[in-house]
Amino acid sequence: MSFVITTPLYYVNDKPHLGSIYTTLICDSIARYKRLSGEDVIFITGVDEHGLKIQRTAMEKGVNPKSHCDEISNIFLQNWKLWDITHNKFVRTSSKNHEFIVSEFYKRVKESNDIYMGVQKGWYCVGCEEFKDNPDNSPTYKCPIHQKNLEWKNEENLFFRLSKYQSQIEDLISDTSFIQPKERRNEIINFVSKGLKDFSISRTNVSWGIPVPDKQNHTFYVWFDALLGYVSAICLNTKNSSLDESIKNGWPADIHLIGKDILRFHAVYWPAMLISAGMDVPKKVFGHGFLTREGKKMGKSLGNVLDPNLLLSKYGKEAVRWYLLKDISLGSDGDFQNKRFVDIINNDLANTIGNLLNRTSSMSRKWFDGRVPSNENSNEDNTLALYSKEAVDNYIKHFNSYELDLAANIILNFAINTNLYLNDKQPWKLIKDENNICLVSNIIYNVLESTRIIGLLLLPLLPDLSTKIDLQLGSLYNKEIPWNIQLNWGKLNYNSVLPEPTPIIEKLEYE
Ligand code: MSP
């Protein structure tokens, strides 16, 4: 059985922004962690290419929607390469394979008697591609997310009988493991308790969409189409794209990781659609928070959008990953502050972890002939061994509950404690007396062994930095041996050669 994790399928109205990078980095870390833990992982990402928003963006550029989508989808793919994202599937909702899945799914939902023709009236936000509830019936009402005027719509659409699934959705969301975090779950419980209303799943004025097979001039509503991208991704590149093929190859998803603004679609509409089609619902929907910049919402009108690629070229991906994964608790909103960013990278990575490794490796090289000393004649000082065991256990517990920030902090605290141990033992004083050689060799071994485990724990979060730490310890990490086994204390080989230490990360300067 595979572990299936998804990012949202990003709109191709623009290139990736910090929000899309954020979600993708979280999924990438979880996917890496699951692979290291021995699971077979299907990590899905991709793009949401249909709908009015994309149709208009292409029109404004004066190009046809298809070539616009080709261009932006490519930019997404190039970006994921730059950021070293380890996705297994990249789905495009404009692909034939996806169109096929949408039609098959529609047929199943229709057979369940869940589709009917009705009239859709209401205020619509093109940015959200969503009708808004009770917006004051005023044409000047702005979408709170996009700050743009809503548009009045009144047209014949096909509807999906969401109301039929009221009790099944209530049961589903009453399961505490389905929606995370807790606060988000309460919002959804509150929304559902007001009574679910059927929603329209086709449009007559949007040409850039998948045609509804049995209704001329109707294309599928972009959300009905896009959510199915998660299913079509699984059978991408298989011989026959069909719902059964996706089910055979991994559906349902273990976790949809999304922003809090699109939770309703994933935790209410989507499961009801799946139940109607006789398919399993996803096991978990996790709604993460929003990123702001220096305390302010990021937006084009405010002119304060942070270009993620600028961050990447200036600071490198490890620094950005650490800040976003360690400093923001998954589920809460987070603020990007330049000063805090610089401080965290310098304190955590350069000083606490980097210096610990460099100074210990230097001492070991100087006193033990360029090699790792023995811990055999030890006086049984197992302080760090015990600490390491506890840190590894807690880290695993946190990662398994998607508390990546807490897992990252476990690593940092492990490094802080190892530094304290070193300062407390003061091997540089002990070494002055020849009789202390066994004692010193044991201390240095303990600290080097801790840095090896710290480096290994960093692997899902900061893969490059982890590799650099491993290189400095003489390349001990072995892909053939399960990662969890290598996290056990005492795997550092006595006598292995330590290369010349170099800083694992450059210190950053304030702007
Ligand atoms: N196309 C839909 C998703 C369809 S999934 C079948 C969509 N796309 S999006 O590109 O607009 O948004 C993608 C994700 O980016 C959403 O999860 C959204 O919450 C997230 N973010 C957008 N701005 C954000 C921040 N400022 N901070 C964090 N994430 C934010 O919605």
Nearest residue by C-alpha to atom 23 in ligand 1: 19
Nearest residue by C-alpha to atom 29 in ligand 1: 19
Ligand 1 contact via 263 beta carbon (within 6 Å)? no
Task: State pLDDT tens for residues 445-466.
Answer: 999 999 999 999 999 999 999 9
Please answer whether residues 406 and 398 qualify as being in contact, where contact means their C-beta atoms are separated by less than 8 angstroms: yes
Ligand 1 contact via 19 beta carbon (within 6 Å)? yes
Alpha helices in 235-316 (DSSP H): 243-248, 263-264, 270-276, 308-315
d(CA 187, CA 261): 11
Among 15, 24, 48, 298, which is best to mutate for testing ligand 1, by the most ligand atoms less than 8 A from CB?
48
Task: State pLDDT tens for residues 204-239.
Answer: 989 999 999 999 999 999 999 999 999 999 999 877
Residue 380 has pLDDT above 70, yes or no: no
Ligand 1 contact via 229 beta carbon (within 6 Å)? yes
Positive/negative CA dihedral, 451, 455, 457, 461: positive
Residue 26 has pLDDT above 70, yes or no: yes
Helix (H, G, I), strand (E, B) or coil at 32: helix
Cα–ligand 1 centroid distance for 11 (angstroms): 8
Report DSSP letters for 467-487, one per residue.
HHHHHHTTS---TTS-HHHHT
Residue 74 has pLDDT above 60, yes or no: yes
Residue 17: pLDDT band (50, 70, 90) is very high
Residue 141 has pLDDT above 80, yes or no: no
**Beta strand extents in 147-242 (DSSP E only):** 151-160, 179-180, 199-200, 202-203, 219-220
Residue 192: pLDDT band (50, 70, 90) is very high
Among 20, 48, 268, 323, which is best to mutate for testing ligand 1, by the most ligand atoms less than 8 A from CB?
20
d(CA 463, CA 485): 18
Ligand 1 contact via 23 beta carbon (within 6 Å)? yes
Please tell me whether the overall predicted TM-score, pTM, comes out greater than 0.85 for this model. Answer: yes
Ligand 1 contact via 225 beta carbon (within 6 Å)? no
Q: What is the mean pLDDT of residues 316-341?
A: 96
Atom of ligand 1 nearest to the CA of 297: 26
Cα–ligand 1 centroid distance for 51 (angstroms): 15
Residue 144: pLDDT band (50, 70, 90) is confident
For residue 406, give every residue at least 6 positions away whose Cβ sits within 8 Å of its Cβ, in sequence order, or none: 329, 398
CB atoms within 10 A of CB 38: 9
Sheet-wide strand order for 179-180: 89-92, 40-48, 2-11, 255-259, 285-288, 179-180
More confident of the two residues 299 and 68: 68
Task: State pLDDT tens for residues 405-425.
Answer: 999 999 999 999 999 999 999
Nearest residue by C-alpha to atom 10 in ligand 1: 10
d(CA 402, CA 175): 17
Cα–ligand 1 centroid distance for 484 (angstroms): 34
Residue 184 has pLDDT above 90, yes or no: yes
Ligand 1 contact via 469 beta carbon (within 6 Å)? no
